[in-house]
Amino acid sequence: MADGHPPASPDATPRSGPLPHWSDPDDDVPTLVRGEGVRVYDDEDTEYLDFASQLYCVNAGHSDERIVEAMTEQASAIPYVSSSKHNDARSELAGRLAEVAPDGLSDVYFAVSGSEANEAAVQFARAQQDAPKVLTRWRSYHGGTYGAAALTGDPSTRATVERYAATSGSTKFLPPIPRAFDGATGEELAEQAADHLEFVIRNEGPDSIAAILTEPVGGTSGAFPAPPGYFERVRDLCDEYDILLISDEVIAGFGRCGDWFGIQREDVEPDIVTFAKGVTSAYAPLAGVLVNAELGESLREEGIDVGQTFAGHPVACAAGVAAMDAYDEDLLDNVRNLAPTLESELREMADARDAVTDVRGRGFLWAVEFADPDSGETFVDPWAGDEGENPVVEVVEAAAEKGVLVGGGRPNFQTIVAPPLCATEDDIREGVRVLNEVIGEVFD
């Protein structure tokens, strides 16, 4: 061991290779080699029902020929065009996005990832409003890069970055969820949460706040739809205090919650929308920022001094146009038709299992929350991160062993269920049946 390394053993697990994201040293990370629709296959040809659309992003399902063909065609024509120039696929996708976007949003600044889209949105908002701060929710996820992690409310993401580098510019507020307020009805909850937000705005100083950045339906934090009337109050507060409203649609967008964008169910118009994941059904990395005409105009007049090499990559844009065709053709309708089945199956499961304390969500994005049936306590502290014994981790692992992939929430006292939008009624029943069985095995 003169060089400081242990002697190599022929049987040792190889220690080089890709470093998986969001991984634990004890994780047994599978190698997936093939996918078809809602199914994926590992290198031993074991089949899994992908009940999480990987990271809530393969919305059209795996290997949709419509998307693959469009990408191939674009790669053959011209695979890459500088992000400082125009390209047909990029312009076409920008036009298609503007057609379905919330009213008033007209221009698109492309990015590569959701984190970068949120950072760009915040940069534009700060410049437009000439104000430094952004308000985001404690239970939120907006990305894992330096700036986006500062916007994120999830403690473990933020702490990973903040442990070594000071972050600033973002102030957190409480989300409109029952754990944060005691309102007995949705309306009361909405009012209390909006009053709290106003308190934060007034105490931070309205003139110092450029934007409120929020997911319209909580994503990995727990698939929370907002209580009725909440977003109308948020919009009113933004108007009253001259603050921009940014809707982070990275998970909620592109049919995941039954509409093109999650905020469209709330009957309010955001000033900015950020998107990623489902825009290409994750067939290629692509993200972006949709801005209102005023912002678009000022960005056009002033010019933009920053950018990214791969933003608006033509092959990704071609995938985006084809994915949007697929959502239009059949997938949005499928979510709308089958969301009630997914909801009722999950609610039936919750009624049958004492450890399941809540199910909530919209469209094909649901959270199943667990607590100790004896004490009623969740297995991890929701505000302090994921530490200690947690049987919910076993649920996720045992479901995978039985061939169904579900997501782990952040905080992970919940699992996230988010099948591809092409899932059939049988797929949905199968996924929930296996989840139910596994919950029985882990808790009973």
For ligand PLP, the closer CB: 175 or 219? 219
Residue 214's Cα: distance from chain center in Å? 11
Q: Which of 322, 288, 278 is nearest to 71 (CA)?
A: 322
Separation of alpha carbons 93 and 109, rounded Å: 11
Q: Which stretch binds ligand PLP (CB under 6 A): 141-149, 173-181, 291-299, 338-346?
A: 141-149
Structure tokens at 431: 């996924």
Q: Does 369 bind ligand PLP (CB under 6 A)?
A: no
Smallest distance from the beta carbon of 4 to ligand PLP, in angstroms? Answer: 36
CB closer to ligand PLP out of 113 and 192 = 113
**Contact (CB, 8 A) for 245 and 272:** yes
Cα–Cα distance for residue pair 418/427, rounded to 1 Å: 12
| Residue 350 CB, nearest approach to ligand PLP (Å) | 24
Least Cβ distance, residue 49 to ligand PLP (angstroms): 21
CB of 215 to ligand PLP, least distance (A): 5
Q: Which residues of 29-45 are buried (b: 16+ CB within 10 A; e: fewer)?
A: eeebeebebbbbbeeee
Verify binding: residue 147, ligand PLP, rule CB under 6 A: no
- 8 Å CB contact between 425 and 413: no
Site for ligand PLP in 217-256 (CB under 6 A): 219-220, 248, 250-251
For ligand PLP, the closer of residues 285 and 314 by Cβ is 285
| Residue 313 vs 353, nearer CB to ligand PLP | 313
Min CB(267)–ligand PLP separation in Å: 21
Task: Report the amino acid identity of residue 111.
Answer: A
Cβ 219 to ligand PLP shortest distance, Å: 4
Contact between residue 157 and residue 146 where contact means Cβ atoms under 8 Å apart: no
How many CA atoms lie less than 13 Å away from 439 in the CB half-sphere?
26
Counted residue by residue, the chain has a size of 444
List the one residue out of 128, 124, 161 whose CA is nearest residue 143.
161
Site membership for ligand PLP, residue 215 (CB under 6 A): yes
Question: Using CB under 6 A as the criterion, what x/- string covers residues 256-295 for binding ligand PLP?
Answer: --------------------x-------------------
Told to check if 143 binds ligand PLP by CB under 6 A, we report: yes
Residue 363 engages ligand PLP in binding (rule: CB under 6 A):
no
Nearer to ligand PLP, 113 or 378 (CB): 113
From the centroid of its chain, how far is CA 332? 18
User: How many Cβ atoms from other residues are within 10 Å of residue 55's Cβ?
Assistant: 16
- Dihedral over Cα of 252, 256, 260, 262: its sign: negative
Q: Is 412 in the site for ligand PLP (CB under 6 A)?
A: no
Output the CA–CA distances (angstroms, integers) from residue 308 to 13, 82, 88, 114, 288, in the order listed: 37, 9, 19, 13, 12
Q: Which stretch binds ligand PLP (CB under 6 A): 41-49, 110-118, 129-137, 344-352?
A: 110-118
Q: Of the candidates 113, 192, 357, 390, which one interacts with ligand PLP according to CB under 6 A?
A: 113
Contact region for ligand PLP (CB under 6 A) — 6-14, 102-110, 139-147, 181-189?
Answer: 139-147
Tell me which stretch binds ligand PLP (CB under 6 A): 9-17, 91-99, 135-143, 376-384: 135-143
Out of 61, 102, 114, 222, point to the residue binding ligand PLP (CB under 6 A).
114
In angstroms, the CA 291 to CA 109 distance is 8
Q: Which residue is nearest to ligand PLP (CB)?
A: 114
Nearer to ligand PLP, 52 or 349 (CB): 52
Q: What is the dihedral of CA 184, 186, 192, 197, to 10 degrees?
A: 150
Q: Which residues bind ligand PLP (CB under 6 A)?
A: 113-115, 118, 141-143, 215, 219-220, 248, 250-251, 276
